[in-house]
Structure 1
Amino acid sequence: MTKNEEHTWKLTLAWDGTGFHGWQVQPGHLTIQGTLAGAIERITGERVLPQGSGRTDTGVHARGQVASFTLAAPIPPANLHRALNRALPETIRILSAEHAPSGFHARHSACAKTYEYRIFRGEICPPWLSRFVYALNWPLQVDAMRQAAALVLGEHDFTSFAASDPDLATRNAEPAAAEESLHGKSAGVRVIYASSWHEERHEDGDLLLYRIRGNGFLHHMVRNLVGTFLDAGRGHIAPEEVRAILERRSRSAAGPTAPARGLFLDHVEYPPASSPEP
């Protein structure tokens, strides 16, 4: 590439969100986006604002967030990858750095995202896990939680599971590109492709994992779903009540918001046309 030619970049990142005020730049707060932008500027001398596949809240972690931006600096991908990991704090790691086709956008080009929520099941949560799980030792009917989770599959209006806050009009989503096909429908409509609970046994204690894959997610949607499924697991609601909660389209109908520390943005998917340039 020539010195003055701009290239689109695609980064895949992982981070421990404990010490950050979420992804999006906010005045007076330490954020992932702001920290990444600062590292890019120190390396290249160019001031850019990396665009993420979606926003994550304070305390939420990521194993596969994607960010995009353009640079004029003629830096090889391997060099940028190495330099960013040297410039960033150890709580943020760049997993890959590559060129992407012109017009690629981490959010608008995405077609699906997967989140995972982790619940620790045991008497004592080890300190090395406590930042990354919701430690919960209540008796739970996991089969009831599985039944409830299955009821959100397909296309639904998830307004009941969206955060009730004055910023909802702009934060109302971490929309993927597939959201464009929902034009003319309620802003709360999303399509969920997978929604399931799994149990894992570990030496440190058992984990209960919720995985959900969809074309887009509302603000707090996954954490509100988890809180509602936990209500079903505790016997506070019947699993089939999830249908009525969806139909109510009211945040007050759903369960509590599960803590941020158990949530991970697992990975983001893109159509083949969004693959990196050879």
Structure 2
Amino acid sequence: MNEPGARAPLRNLLLRVAYDGTDFYGWQIQPRRPTIQGTLTTAIEEVSGEQVQVCGAGRTDAGVHACAQAANVKLASRIPCSNFVQAVNDHLPESIRVLSVQEVPLDFHARHHAQSKTYCYRIFREKICPPWLSRYVFPLPYPLQEEAMQEAARHYQGTWDFRSFASTDRSQHPRQKSEDKSYVRTILSSVLERRGEELVYTVEGSGFLHHMVRNLVGTLILAGRKQLPPEAIPEILAARQRSAAGPTVPARGLHLVRVSYPGHPDS
């Protein structure tokens, strides 16, 4: 039992969070702009009565969605995890939901301990995109060689320098940009498949660079339009120049599906 007036020991909580990113300026807190991290932080502080720092597994851009983003937060509140989910959700807009909460060791960090992340990108292929889907897919009704796109997607698998698929992150401090950071990432799985009216690209990797998934998809679309052969992907990787790859597709079709950790279930 704690001494009178003594602060309760901290707990570290792992949160799984889903959100519709349409109306937010991405995950990371920004001054005077609605963000996922900022909104979630405010809700947790209102519930716990403490100042907290919510650490996400990664930063999703403005307009990107999440099925199960991961974040951890340290706080002294003794609210049980099941009650914490409901209490925080009561303070959040309907576009953000905490799906689950579990206690983890104090040294656990949502970004540093992530084993892999999985994203999917949804391309709607019919002529008319229903309004209720338009926030979550990229409408592209024009002719595409889907088999060529599937073949190109397989070339992404493996450990490569993905500099050709990394956009400049303008939110970084100039000193960070000047550092010789690694562009090497491992893609564990890279699959494009037809699901009804949609083409869905699913990619799992050890980590991703800024706009990397959206640039991977933009390059697949070039392959689908016969503007580059699938076997050109290794050459694009070897070029290590952003201009060698395809354009950045819109954010609205991108979804963070899950973040995986050793010893911790995905949900």
- SS at structure 2 position matched to 1:216: coil
1:243 equivalenced with 2:247 (yes/no):
no
Displacement of 1:73 after TM fit? 1.1
Displacement of 1:230 after TM fit? 0.3
Displacement of 1:241 after TM fit? 1.1
Displacement of 1:123 after TM fit? 1.1
Mapped partners of 1:73, 1:93: distance in 2: 20
Mapped partners of 2:34, 2:171: distance in 1: 20
Question: Which residue is 1:188 aligned to?
Answer: 183
Mapped partners of 2:125, 2:151: distance in 1: 20
1:257 equivalenced with 2:248 (yes/no):
yes
User: Which stretch of the first structure deviates more once superposed, 87-96 or 97-106?
Assistant: 97-106
Provide structure 2 residue ranges, at least 5 long, that are not aligned to the other structure.
none
Question: Which residue is 1:199 aligned to?
Answer: 194
Of all paired residues, the percent bearing the same amino acid is: 51
Displacement of 1:242 after TM fit? 1.0
Question: Which residue is 1:270 aligned to?
Answer: 261
Asked if structure 2 preserves the Cα contact closer than 8 Å seen for 1:101 and 1:275, the reply is no
Count how many residue pairs are aligned between Structure 1 and Structure 2: 259
Displacement of 1:92 after TM fit? 0.2
Deviation sequence 1:74-106 (CA, Å, 0-9, x none): 111111110011110000011101111221111
- Counterpart among 32, 35, 44 of residue 39 in structure 2: 35
Mapped partners of 1:117, 1:230: distance in 2: 12
Asked if structure 2 preserves the Cα contact closer than 8 Å seen for 1:65 and 1:268, the reply is yes
Displacement of 1:164 after TM fit? 2.6
Query: Mapping of 1:156-171 within 5 angstroms?
Result: 156-167=160-171
- SS at structure 2 position matched to 1:80: helix
* TM-score, with length taken from structure 2: 0.93
Q: Which amino acid aligns with 2:33?
A: H
Q: Which amino acid aligns with 2:194?
A: E
Provide structure 1 residue ranges, at least 5 long, that are not aligned to the other structure.
174-184
Q: 1:161–1:71: structure 2 CA closer, same or farther, 3 Å change rule?
A: same
1:20 equivalenced with 2:20 (yes/no):
no
Q: Which amino acid aligns with 2:185?
A: R
Greater share of helix? 1
Displacement of 1:5 after TM fit? 1.1
1:230 equivalenced with 2:225 (yes/no):
no
Mapped partners of 1:275, 1:149: distance in 2: 28
Query: Mapping of 1:1-278 within 5 angstroms?
Result: 4-167=8-171, 187-201=182-196, 206-272=197-263
- SS at structure 2 position matched to 1:81: helix
- SS at structure 1 position matched to 2:185: strand
Mapped partners of 2:158, 2:54: distance in 1: 31
Deviation sequence 1:235-263 (CA, Å, 0-9, x none): 11111111111011111111000100000
Mapped partners of 1:271, 1:7: distance in 2: 20
Q: Which amino acid aligns with 1:242?
A: I
* TM-score, with length taken from structure 1: 0.89
